[in-house]
Amino acid sequence: MGLEATPSGERVHIGFFGVRNAGKSSVVNAVTGQDLAVVSNVAGTTTDPVSKAMELLPLGPVVVVDTPGIDDEGGLGELRVRKARQALRRCDVAVLVVDVARGLTDADRMLLNEFAVRKLPHVVALNKADLLADGQEVELAQNEVLVSAREGTGIFELKERLGALAASSGHRRLLVSDLLEEGDLVVLVCPIDASAPKGRLILPQQLVMRDVIDAHASALVCQPEELRGLLASLVRSPRIVITDSQAFGRVAAMVPEGVPLTSFSILMARYKGSLDALVRGAQALASLSDKSRVLISEGCTHHRQCEDIGTVKMPTWIRAYAGADPTFEFTSGGEFPDDPSAYDLVVHCGGCMLNEREMAHRMAACQAAGVPMVNYGVAIAQMHGILARSLEPFA
């Protein structure tokens, strides 16, 4: 696969972190073999995370991210620290760069702790080995490598370690936190109707909430009826509004144009890596005819909320949108045809109860049979004319 063929979202992101002047930018330059980042002896040289997509042998396509010092201080400094921490959330693999003579600082320990909390695979690069006195021994822990960005020693070993970590990490997708900064405000619109489960929220809503607070942003949750009042009461615009797909039409009318808006199901599809295919599948809705066969498939059997949407609302919406009366068939739970080629379109639920492998299997079956597949959320957005707006946040 060529360099251009791998979108940034699919590449392994490798972030370099550490205190000011540890040599992060120098190590980035040594690892990439390029003068990517500005280096100087002024503490706080790197003021913004710098990302660069590149082919890094033997790792393959990656994004390398240089970051500001994690110990920066003062008003501007705090802003930089925030940006560094934000970059951390996007990384699949981390390098902690430490000045070997100085050793680990409190800020470094905090970073290591954060790596552990996030289960982020990482390696510690003890830099400036060239400054060690001749014969000075350094005891290396298992996840430490001694390097000198200046002389290039240990850099090959560091790259090999990174290769191994990258291979084992896979790419970790995020629901929404990659769009957020610390302190952002997110509004979540969760209609509670007869089909909502009793006494709790559904999984995509829970997952998004968790991801929002992971990003140190805040979430405000309301039903569509309260949205107008809630938005009016805010002193600043929310970073994004996320709504249940079924309320998208109503919600879109209330959220000002400049405020990004999307749905839980679109976030879930993006998280699972299937958004592009589903958006293509949505194009097939308009061309359905009376002769078409549509399979409506649900992952869960035990939730009223899906049944109602799948068997009643979805066929009604599709008939109205296509201006035709196609034949609908239904499956639920573990049932799914091995060969869906008899259908002109498969409309699937969000798949929150199916594991990713099963969902991927179903998408692959459709792809092999040349049958377009769309999920409820993307289909609803398309049929309500709001798909384009709900994809804007990821443009």
Distances (CA, A) of 36 to 28, 53, 66, 151, 212: 7, 11, 9, 17, 32
Mask 76-115, x = binds ligand GTP (CB under 6 A)?
----------------------------------------
69 binds, among Mg ion, ligand GTP, none (CB under 5 to 8 A by kind): ligand GTP
Using the minimum distance from each CB to ligand GTP, give the nearer residue, 15 or 337. Answer: 15
**How many C-beta neighbours within 10 Å does residue 32 have?**
19
Report yes or no: 373 and 281 within 8 Å, Cβ to Cβ. Answer: yes
Residues 126-145 that bind ligand GTP (CB under 6 A): 127-128, 130-131
CA distance 246 to 384: 10
What single letter denotes the amino acid at residue 76? L
Closest distance to ligand GTP from the beta carbon of 69 (Å)? 3
Residue 217's SS3 state is: coil
26 binds, among Mg ion, ligand GTP, none (CB under 5 to 8 A by kind): ligand GTP
Report yes or no: 143 and 122 within 8 Å, Cβ to Cβ. Answer: yes
| Angle between helix 264-271 and 376-383 (nearest 10) | 130
45 binding Mg ion? (CB under 5 A)? yes
| Residue range at the interface with ligand GTP (CB under 6 A); choices 114-122, 148-156, 202-210, 272-280 | 148-156
3-state secondary structure 76-141: HHHHHHHHHHHHHHHCCEEEEEEECCCCCCHHHHHHHHHHHHCCCCEEEEEECHHHCCCCCCCCCC
Using the minimum distance from each CB to ligand GTP, give the nearer residue, 127 or 292. Answer: 127
Residue of 300, 180, 313 whose CA lies nearest to 244: 313
149 binds, among Mg ion, ligand GTP, none (CB under 5 to 8 A by kind): ligand GTP
Using the minimum distance from each CB to Mg ion, give the nearer residue, 81 or 387. Answer: 81
Using the minimum distance from each CB to Mg ion, give the nearer residue, 16 or 115. Answer: 16
Report yes or no: 149 and 25 within 8 Å, Cβ to Cβ. Answer: no
150 binding ligand GTP? (CB under 6 A)? yes
Using the minimum distance from each CB to ligand GTP, give the nearer residue, 21 or 382. Answer: 21
Instruction: Give the end-to-end CA distance of the chain in Å, rounded to a whole number.
Output: 23
Closest distance to ligand GTP from the beta carbon of 158 (Å)? 12
CA distance 155 to 12: 19
CA distance 377 to 316: 15
23 binds, among Mg ion, ligand GTP, none (CB under 5 to 8 A by kind): ligand GTP
CA distance 392 to 336: 32
Torsion, CA 112, CA 117, CA 123, CA 126, rounded to 10: 0
Report yes or no: 80 and 72 within 8 Å, Cβ to Cβ. Answer: yes
Using the minimum distance from each CB to ligand GTP, give the nearer residue, 49 or 377. Answer: 49
Using the minimum distance from each CB to ligand GTP, give the nearer residue, 47 or 367. Answer: 47
39 binding ligand GTP? (CB under 6 A)? yes
Residues 4-43 that bind Mg ion (CB under 5 A): 24-25
32 binding ligand GTP? (CB under 6 A)? no
- Which of 12, 13, 21, 166 is in the footprint of ligand GTP by CB under 6 A? 21
What single letter denotes the amino acid at residue 312? V
24 binding ligand GTP? (CB under 6 A)? yes
45 binding ligand GTP? (CB under 6 A)? yes
- Which of 22, 81, 254, 295 is in the footprint of ligand GTP by CB under 6 A? 22
For Mg ion, the binding residues (CB under 5 A) are: 24-25, 45-46
List of residues contacting ligand GTP (CB under 6 A): 18, 20-26, 39-41, 43-46, 68-69, 127-128, 130-131, 148-150
